[in-house]
Structure 1
Amino acid sequence: MVIVEFSARDAATLARWWAKALGRPVEATTVRPAGPGLVLRFTEPAAPKERKNGVHLDLRSESHHDQQKTVERLFNAGAGFADIGQTEAVPWVVMTDIEGNEFCVLEPRETYQDTGPLAAVVTDCADPQEQARWWSSRTGQPIADDTPEFAGVHLRTGPFLEFQRSATGPAGRVRLLIEPAR
């Protein structure tokens, strides 16, 4: 099972916020999908936020109207807007959750039509192809995209794991993990 782990000042509150944002149930500090998929886990204490997180979530939209409604709903629930260097020409909206973790609300994209509310988990890394190969071997899922700047793995029952080239790497308060077999 793939886990996205958030370091939080208040793990229970942040877990409830993300559960409501994604329409999923929450158990204490863990948000699990109704069926197969990835888990969001929230732990304390939070590491200090020093820069943009190297891992972020991309939320899916059904239509441009749905994207607008999702942004409005999350803003009304306490999300903020973030400037991480994107231009005004990008079709997605960069936001922050109630503890300042960045995420994007994407415009409708056919690629993500079967992912559920969570389209992708995006990780900054030095070598996207190497990361995609590693995650593909651990999850048993095929590599979906493979370029020197960007590579991805589509989880059969959930979002894409996407890796984008970055000199800064995946440091921050959010990380991508694989749950050990029990």
Structure 2
Amino acid sequence: MTPHLAAIGFHATDPADLARFWAGLLGWERTDAVTVLPPDGKGFGLRFTESQEPKSRQNQAHFDLTSATPQAQQDMVARALELGARHIDIGQTPEEGHIVLADPDGNEFCVIEAGNKFLADTGVIGAVACDGTQAVGYFWSKALGWPLVWDQDEETAIQSPQGGTKITWGGPPVAPKPDVNRLYFELTLPADADETAETARLTALGARPGPDGVLLDPDGNEFTLRRAAA
């Protein structure tokens, strides 16, 4: 049985504050101080864990948020700024329609312009856009059981069979990964599943053990695998 992508985890200097920001921006529910879930219960949630390590580089992954109309894009940006986000420059040009922001902990995210066909019908988080190889896109497709919805010029994307957010990898060049990622995937298995067997399957696909009980995908990105509570 393939694992479920339960949450995108954030290492944060102030987990509760970052949960407050993302709950307010997305209109999702805080189920506790550090966990945010979509109100319809579908897809993945967000979970924030404390880290004293300062953010020292651009993240390997960021959210692309969708907009139904130009006004909705402006409203999303205004709400983000009111909640504590700020504008940042990562090399985008004035001709590009998306707006690049950073959350209160410095994590980059984009508010995408209306009419983006690739992100149509995906939800408020249209994509988790990752820096990564074609091979890691193939790995995650098999690991989660999500089909490839894009595979061209070494760029890949996957999406749950039920729809929702896409996960994308931009292909080469891939930036070096000198330290632990701020964002990571949290996978869960049913309470009665064989965690050892699933770890072996993921290892056969290209994962490897990492520090402190985490696993690493073929590009060296951390993820966790745990059984769900009974």
Contact 1:54 / 1:172 at 8 angstroms: preserved in 2? no
Counterpart of 1:25 in structure 2 is 29
- The alignment covers a number of residue pairs equal to 180
Work out the percentage of aligned pairs sharing the same amino acid.
36
What are the Cα deviations for residues 107-153 of structure 1, in whole angstroms up to 9, with x where unaligned? 1213323222110001112x1x2122111112222101112342100
Change (3 A) 1:149 1:93: farther
Counterpart of 1:136 in structure 2 is 141
- Mean CA deviation greater in 153-162 or 59-68: 153-162
1:59 alignment partner AA:
L
Contact 1:16 / 1:26 at 8 angstroms: preserved in 2? yes
Alpha-carbon distance in structure 2 between the residues aligned to 1:46 and 1:119: 30
- Mean CA deviation greater in 161-170 or 78-87: 161-170
What value does the CA root-mean-square deviation take over the aligned residues?
Answer: 1.7
1:87 alignment partner AA:
T
Q: Return 5+ residue gaps in structure 1 as ranges.
A: none
Find the residue that maps to 2:59 and give its secondary structure: coil
Counterpart of 1:120 in structure 2 is 127
2:37 alignment partner AA:
R
Contact 1:54 / 1:169 at 8 angstroms: preserved in 2? no
Alpha-carbon distance in structure 1 between the residues aligned to 2:109 and 2:185: 18
TM norm structure 1:
0.91
Query: Where does structure 1 differ by over 6 angstroms across 4 or more consecutive aligned residues?
Result: none
Report whether the alignment pairs 1:179 with 2:187.
yes
1:30 alignment partner AA:
T
TM norm structure 2:
0.73
1:138 alignment partner AA:
A
Counterpart of 1:61 in structure 2 is 67
Contact 2:29 / 2:37 at 8 angstroms: preserved in 1? yes
Q: Return 5+ residue gaps in structure 2 as ranges.
A: 190-226
Contact 1:60 / 1:116 at 8 angstroms: preserved in 2? yes
